[in-house]
A and B are shown apart, each in its own frame.
Chain A
Amino acid sequence: MSPPFLGSLFGPVCEIDVVLNDADSRKTAELKMEDGKVEKHFLFYDGESVAGKVSLPMMMMMKLPLPRHSELFGDKSNTHEFVNLVKELALPGELTQNRSYDFEFMQVEKPYESYVGANVRLRYFLKVTIVRRLSDLVREYDLVVHQLATYPDVNNSIKMEVGIEDCLHIEFEYNKSKYHLKDVIVGKIYFLLVRIKIQHMELQLIKKEITGIGPSTTTETETVAKYEIMDGAPVKGESIPIRLFLAGYDLTATMRDVNKKFSVRYFLNLVLVDEEDRRYFKQQEIVLWRKAPEKLRKRNFHQRYESPESRPVVSAEQPEM
């Protein structure tokens, strides 16, 4: 299946067609756009070559760059190119007949994942530019890049005792601190002291997209999953199991300071609600990573998973616990 073409942009006058050499065998991946629509594009990994054929009905000069840039949606002008590889496919001249040109970018370095967020978007695309006298004809062809990681060397469980003095003491435990995107979070909550009337308890998976640096930082928070794990009021000594499958949610890997422009981080938020609807919560960062599909597992990736610090982070906005 081939991704759709933006052919209509050019009309019948100038039909630019890009066909990848391995289009038959290459996998595709979905990407959810900011408007909620899901686009499907060919999937590339870091270091893979991008090769194909551009067919032009008529052309005078053509440039084929492989740009990678992030866009901050709030400010469309604020576009940063990370890499821009350019191949000239044809010398200037009059195109008198339909022609196609082969191209190949060898072992392109693709250090970041494709990403579409609330305020930021990271895309890889092939851009065919036909330089003309009046206006250039431009054709963009999106690719999806996945950043694979291997199993983390260190993956401690998260275990912590929190509470409010003489009111509520709990100990929670998540089996890991780093989860791959199809992973399952397994854990337990022990109730050491319960003097409040709890109504229910839920586990939330929160995504934070932090854009900008320094004082101009913007944080976009989204609750990806809201999962009730306990109904009713437990008593001292109860232990409540947690099991949350991640595969069903629309998640990306954790990203840190991507090109010093943005970060995407995930948190588990344990929320207890009492009978008067007061909420007690505790956030805990977890790292999400993309595991290589089964058949790629054997390959040797030069990219190693960077292990971030796994110390607990207590944010200022949650004084209760």
Chain B
Amino acid sequence: MPATQQSMQDDQEKLLDEAVQAVKVQSFQMKRCLDKNKLMDALKHASNTLGELRTSMLSPKSYYELYMAISDELHYLEIYLTDEFAKGRKVADLYELVQYAGNIIPRLYLLITVGVVYVKSFSQSRRDILKDLVEMCRGVQHPLRGLFLRNYLLQCTRNVLPDDGEVTEEGTTGDINDSVDFVLLNFAEMNKLWVRMQHQGHSRDREKREKERQELRILVGTNLVRLSQLEGVNVDKYTQVVLPGILDQAVNCRDSLAQEYLMECIIQVFPDEFHLQTLNSFLRACAELHQNVNVKNIIIALIDRLALFAHREDGPGIPADIKLFDVFSQQVASVIQSRQEMPSEDVVSLQVSLINLAMKCYPDRIDYVDKVLETTLEIFNKMNLEHMATSSAVSKELMRLLKIPVDIYNNILTVLQLQHFHPLFEYFDYESRKIMSSYMLGNTLDNNTVIKAQEQVDAVLKLVSTLIQDQPDQPSEDPDPEDFAEEQNLVGRFIHMLHSEDPDQQYMILNTARKHFGAGGNQRIRFTLPPLVFAAYQLAFRYKESSSVDEKWEKKCQKIFSFAHQTISALIKAELAELPLRLFLQGALAAGEIGFENHETVAYEFMSQAFSLYEDEISDSKAQLSAITLIIGTFERSKCFSEENHEPLRTQCALAASKLLKKADQCRAVGTCAQLFWSGRSSDKNGEEIQDEKRVMECLKKALKIANQCMDSSLQVQLFIEILNRYIYFHEKQNEAVTVQVLNQLIQKVQDDLPNLEACEEAELIKKHFHNTLEHLRVRKESSEADGAAYDGLLL
């Protein structure tokens, strides 16, 4: 095949070359004769030149080149004749003379050339000649030759067409109506020829022919351009004559390629103001087009243009009397009605452009947008569609459709006002629902859209339920953990957007959210419940702030804490431990801080829950250490416990610390416990620190003892240094039991052990730590007067 194509191309080049050569020779002769004023001979050569255009051998592309070459030569003749006529050297009957040419192609080209000269020279003949030319061209019925002949007619007459506002000599004939008739007739004939090309030759060449036709379409379209350039074609003329004429042709030619091109051409060449006045007729015509025509693209092109027009700042906007949306809405419906074969994605595409129109032209009319969604929904219902696969075209289009309100409003609450959004959303399959849900939540976060009412929360969470709860249609295999985490983190962030200024409303919001998230399954709740618990604590703080105006605030706080308790318990049921432990500790702190009635009980309960989680659920030693450290830290900060509750808790802490598995862990935890006996506070002593010197020393000594049992010498030294630091802390806090001797002993011990350490990076770090510690002491000692602690006798 390529070889054949190549040889065909070579043939074309050869043929074209020969023809162009002949044209050169003949047109040279023509010019010579013109120079000698031998007009008749010149015409004969012109006719010979034009004879080359009679060929059937050239492809459209080659024919075009030949045509261009010849039309240049004819232009020379035209200028010569125009000059001669202007000089008064008129050749009688020239218009008749050229008609003796026996072959029609040269005859008509010459007739057009001479005709235009006549029109320029005798303006009273204009109307008749234009009419005659366009009629006589009917003689060429061969599509390619006819198209070019009529194109020549159109090109030659472009400056002589009668138009409104032109300056004319007296006696000039012809007005805008003649021009419109002229171009419309030429257009109709050209279109017929163009369409006819499709039906010539073998059916196996169909593709090639379509390609050739595409190459030639501009010739047909130029007629429309010419019409649009006429001043006299105003809105009225366009509405009454021009558009009906074009549409009549377009619809009746029944050729999809032509229809598609012509309709788009109309949209592109005529001004928006015209389109606005002719929406109905244009769109009605769309409904009548061939089934193969991509009507969708046509309508979308028009809508997009008008939407742009409505949006233009310097433009007049859409006139009030034109119900743009209603018209489009109705006509699009009837187009869809008339085309049962239309793929559903195209139906949706149309709705996309409708929604764009509504958004751009009527930004306030949410009902318009909803109307589009409703129509789409009805169509889907009629089609009996199941969940549509994400990969399907219709699903992609639907996503485009639904994203538009999200993107334009940038407010999920406005989207919620669209009654038909959610039902339509349900047509997505699992994957698409998930993507779309994430998209909406992302949009909410990006725009900081605060969701203020319980009903809204309910609606949003129902809408994005794919992210929140298991779905009947979800795939059986587990999702990618990273993706899942990302998605759920998004949901978690979103929870912070649920916020009402009114605490009672906020409480309802949290309850509603809890219901939705609670059903999310073990995998999801670890992401979604903690933010809820934090939101609950925040709400409790807000109640405290409003204690002066809300008598029932304490009761409400209690409810919130039981809400939190229950929520955290849900996490425990999901076999989580560290997370609920932390949430309990946070709750205990919050309860203590807020200090509502019963708060101690609540705090105690939360602490004890944390303890039991620690004891029952946390087995990993590292996790244990960090959990107990956290518990101790939390407890140390709590001020709400009476001695009755404080005592067992701190004992429990110390006990737990000493029960840790690894010696190093024990050592550190016990050391930390020492803090409890110093800065822990119970409500009995008005919140003052316990400062139990003896117990502190016991703890530290115990830590030291445990460190002594440590086998790893570098770890041991490290622990000693840590304990030394604790001693120093308490010494500075003026714990009398921590004497300089104690410090000296410990420093001595470390100094003894340090040289025995193997030289390694770790040892360096340890030495550095020790050095810094000593440096600290030195500084303190030198400025000892300032803080009351005695450093006398400290050996450094």
Question: For the complex, is B54 an interface residue (Cβ under 8 Å from A)?
Answer: yes
Q: Are B102 and A235 in contact (CB under 8 A)?
A: no
For A243, list chain B residues within 8 Å (CB): 99, 136
Q: Are A232 and B138 in contact (CB under 8 A)?
A: no
What 1/0 flags go to A229-245 for Cβ under 8 Å of B?
Answer: 11111110011110101
Q: Are B100 and A240 in contact (CB under 8 A)?
A: no
Q: Are A232 and B99 CB-contacts (below 8 A) given A240-B138, A241-B135?
A: no
Q: Are B136 and A234 in contact (CB under 8 A)?
A: no
Q: Are B136 and A228 in contact (CB under 8 A)?
A: no
Tell me which of A226, A232, A245, A247 contacts B141 (CB under 8 A): A232
Q: Which B residue's beta carbon lies closest to that of A233?
A: B141
Tell me which of B97, B107, B136 contacts A241 (CB under 8 A): B136
User: What is the bound-complex CA distance between A233 and B141, given in angstroms?
Assistant: 6
For B96, list chain A residues within 8 Å (CB): 245, 247
* Chain A positions 206-238 with a Cβ under 8 Å from a chain B Cβ: 225-235, 238
For B141, list chain A residues within 8 Å (CB): 230-235, 238, 240
CB distance from B57 to the nearest CB of A (A): 14
What 1/0 flags go to B683-718 for Cβ under 8 Å of A?
Answer: 000000000000000000000000000000000000
How many A-B pairs with Cβ below 8 Å? 54
Q: Which A residue's beta carbon lies closest to that of B142?
A: A232
Q: Are A232 and B100 in contact (CB under 8 A)?
A: no
CB distance from A108 to the nearest CB of B (A): 35
CB distance from B718 to the nearest CB of A (A): 102
* Chain B positions 92-119 with a Cβ under 8 Å from a chain A Cβ: 96-97, 99-100, 102-105, 107
Tell me which of A227, A228, A233, A239 contacts B138 (CB under 8 A): A239
Q: Are A231 and B136 CB-contacts (below 8 A) given A243-B99, A245-B99, A245-B100?
A: no
* Chain B positions 133-159 with a Cβ under 8 Å from a chain A Cβ: 135-136, 138-143, 145-146
Question: For the complex, is B452 an interface residue (Cβ under 8 Å from A)?
Answer: no
Q: Are A230 and B135 in contact (CB under 8 A)?
A: no
Question: For the complex, is B305 an interface residue (Cβ under 8 Å from A)?
Answer: no
Q: Are B140 and A232 in contact (CB under 8 A)?
A: yes
For B196, list chain A residues within 8 Å (CB): 235
Question: For the complex, is A248 an interface residue (Cβ under 8 Å from B)?
Answer: yes
For B192, list chain A residues within 8 Å (CB): 235
User: What is the bound-complex CA distance between A243 and B97, given in angstroms?
Assistant: 12
Most interface-central of A232, A241, A243 (chain B CB within 10 A): A232
User: What is the bound-complex CA distance between A310 and B200, given in angstroms?
Assistant: 41
* Chain B positions 55-76 with a Cβ under 8 Å from a chain A Cβ: none
Q: Are A238 and B138 CB-contacts (below 8 A) given A228-B102, A228-B103, A231-B105?
A: yes
Q: Are A229 and B102 in contact (CB under 8 A)?
A: no
User: What is the bound-complex CA distance between A235 and B96, given in angstroms?
Assistant: 29
Chain B: residues with Cβ within 8 Å of the partner, total of 23
For A225, list chain B residues within 8 Å (CB): 102
Most interface-central of B100, B107, B141 (chain A CB within 10 A): B141
User: What is the bound-complex CA distance between A248 and B135, given in angstroms?
Assistant: 23
Q: Are A230 and B139 in contact (CB under 8 A)?
A: yes
Q: Which B residue's beta carbon lies closest to that of A198?
A: B141
CB distance from A188 to the nearest CB of B (A): 9
Tell me which of A226, A230, A231, A238 contacts B54 (CB under 8 A): A231
Q: Which A residue's beta carbon lies closest to that of B136?
A: A241
Q: Are B100 and A230 in contact (CB under 8 A)?
A: no
Q: Are A233 and B142 in contact (CB under 8 A)?
A: yes
Q: Are A229 and B139 in contact (CB under 8 A)?
A: yes
For B97, list chain A residues within 8 Å (CB): 248
For A233, list chain B residues within 8 Å (CB): 141-142, 200
For A228, list chain B residues within 8 Å (CB): 102-104, 107
Q: Are B99 and A231 in contact (CB under 8 A)?
A: no
Q: Are A232 and B102 CB-contacts (below 8 A) given A238-B138, A241-B136, A243-B136?
A: no
For A200, list chain B residues within 8 Å (CB): 104
User: What is the bound-complex CA distance between A240 and B137, given in angstroms?
Assistant: 9
For B54, list chain A residues within 8 Å (CB): 231
CB distance from B138 to the nearest CB of A (A): 6
Tell me which of B103, B136, B146 contacts A232 (CB under 8 A): B146
Q: Which A residue's beta carbon lies closest to that of B106?
A: A228
CB distance from A247 to the nearest CB of B (A): 8
Q: Which B residue's beta carbon lies closest to that of A188?
A: B138
Q: Are A232 and B135 in contact (CB under 8 A)?
A: no
User: What is the bound-complex CA distance between A248 and B96, given in angstroms?
Assistant: 10
User: What is the bound-complex CA distance between A226 and B100, given in angstroms?
Assistant: 10
For A229, list chain B residues within 8 Å (CB): 104, 139
CB distance from B331 to the nearest CB of A (A): 31
For A240, list chain B residues within 8 Å (CB): 138-139, 141
User: What is the bound-complex CA distance between A228 and B139, given in angstroms?
Assistant: 9
Q: Which A residue's beta carbon lies closest to that of B146?
A: A232
User: What is the bound-complex CA distance between A200 and B146, given in angstroms?
Assistant: 13
User: What is the bound-complex CA distance between A247 and B92, given in angstroms?
Assistant: 14
User: What is the bound-complex CA distance between A200 and B97, given in angstroms?
Assistant: 23
User: What is the bound-complex CA distance between A91 and B135, given in angstroms?
Assistant: 71
Q: Are A230 and B99 CB-contacts (below 8 A) given A239-B138, A241-B136?
A: no
Q: Which B residue's beta carbon lies closest to that of A239?
A: B138
CB distance from B489 to the nearest CB of A (A): 69
Q: Which A residue's beta carbon lies closest to that of B103?
A: A228
Q: Are A226 and B102 CB-contacts (below 8 A) given A235-B196, A241-B136, A241-B138?
A: yes
* Chain B positions 165-185 with a Cβ under 8 Å from a chain A Cβ: none
* Chain A positions 110-140 with a Cβ under 8 Å from a chain B Cβ: none
Q: Which A residue's beta carbon lies closest to that of B99?
A: A245
CB distance from B182 to the nearest CB of A (A): 16
User: What is the bound-complex CA distance between A107 and B138, given in angstroms?
Assistant: 53
CB distance from A275 to the nearest CB of B (A): 10
CB distance from A57 to the nearest CB of B (A): 46
For A227, list chain B residues within 8 Å (CB): 102
What 1/0 flags go to B190-213 for Cβ under 8 Å of A?
Answer: 001000100010000000000000
For A248, list chain B residues within 8 Å (CB): 97, 100
Q: Are B104 and A231 in contact (CB under 8 A)?
A: yes
For A226, list chain B residues within 8 Å (CB): 102
Q: Are A231 and B140 in contact (CB under 8 A)?
A: yes
Q: Are A231 and B102 CB-contacts (below 8 A) given A241-B136, A243-B136?
A: no
Q: Which A residue's beta carbon lies closest to that of B137?
A: A241
User: What is the bound-complex CA distance between A193 and B136, given in angstroms?
Assistant: 21
CB distance from A183 to the nearest CB of B (A): 12
User: What is the bound-complex CA distance between A248 and B102, given in angstroms?
Assistant: 12
* Chain B positions 189-248 with a Cβ under 8 Å from a chain A Cβ: 192, 196, 200
CB distance from B56 to the nearest CB of A (A): 9
For A231, list chain B residues within 8 Å (CB): 54, 104-105, 139-142, 145-146
Q: Which B residue's beta carbon lies closest to that of A243?
A: B99
For B136, list chain A residues within 8 Å (CB): 241, 243
Q: Which B residue's beta carbon lies closest to that of A229?
A: B139
Q: Which B residue's beta carbon lies closest to that of A234?
A: B141
User: What is the bound-complex CA distance between A239 and B146, given in angstroms?
Assistant: 15
User: What is the bound-complex CA distance between A243 and B196, given in angstroms?
Assistant: 26
CB distance from A242 to the nearest CB of B (A): 9
CB distance from A246 to the nearest CB of B (A): 10
For B107, list chain A residues within 8 Å (CB): 228
* Chain A positions 245-283 with a Cβ under 8 Å from a chain B Cβ: 245, 247-248
Q: Which A residue's beta carbon lies closest to that of B193?
A: A232
Q: Are A230 and B102 CB-contacts (below 8 A) given A235-B196, A241-B138, A241-B139?
A: no
User: What is the bound-complex CA distance between A229 and B99, given in angstroms?
Assistant: 11
CB distance from B455 to the nearest CB of A (A): 67
In the complex, 6 of the A-B residue pairs with CB atoms within 8 angstroms, ordered by the A residue number, are: A231-B54, A232-B140, A234-B141, A240-B138, A243-B136, A248-B100
With A225-B102, A231-B139, A241-B135 known, 11 other A-B pairs at CB within 8 A are: A226-B102, A227-B102, A229-B104, A229-B139, A230-B139, A231-B142, A238-B138, A241-B138, A243-B136, A248-B97, A248-B100
Binding site for A on B (CB under 8 A): 54, 96-97, 99-100, 102-105, 107, 135-136, 138-143, 145-146, 192, 196, 200
Which are the 9 A-B pairs with shortest beta-carbon distances?
A: A232-B142, A232-B141, A234-B141, A228-B104, A248-B100, A231-B140, A228-B103, A231-B104, A231-B142
Binding site for B on A (CB under 8 A): 200, 225-235, 238-241, 243, 245, 247-248
